[in-house]
Amino acid sequence: MEVLIFQKEAFEEMAAKFSRFSDRVNELLAKQGGKSLNRWMDNQEVCQQLNISPRTLQTLRDNGTLAYSQINHKVFYRPEDMLRIVKPVEGKLADKAV
């Protein structure tokens, strides 16, 4: 394990550069059709939208049904990917209810 120590000024400069980078990416995405990094959904939002449990969501990720991105330990989903699987998920849930 390697530990890095930053001076406060260096960390603040790095954080400011990341913030400017994020703002620039959002500007570029907006030009591409109004998309934004802020539109990504987290686990809780997807579970609420699909009315599924966190375990079912994990299964959808594991079997490749739902695309996702992970930053550190937090998982994010694009709304369009979540909407794309609504019908397949509803179909599987209806099959289990019968």
pTM of the model: 0.53
Q: What is the mean pLDDT of residues 12-27?
A: 84
Q: Are 58 and 71 members of one domain?
A: yes
Task: Tell me if 2 is assigned to some domain.
Answer: no
Strand order in the sheet with 74-77: 41-42, 74-77, 69-71
Q: Are 58 and 18 members of one domain?
A: no
Q: How confident is the model at residue 84 (pLDDT cuts 50, 70, 90)?
A: confident
% the chain with pLDDT above 90: 34
Contact between 76 and 70 (Cβ < 8 Å)? yes
How far apart (Å, rounded) are the C-alpha atoms in residues 96 and 98? 6
In tens, the pLDDT along 30-70 reads: 776 655 555 788 999 999 988 899 999 999 999 999 999 99
Tell me which residue range forms the domain holding 46: 40-98
Q: What is the mean pLDDT of residues 14-19?
A: 88
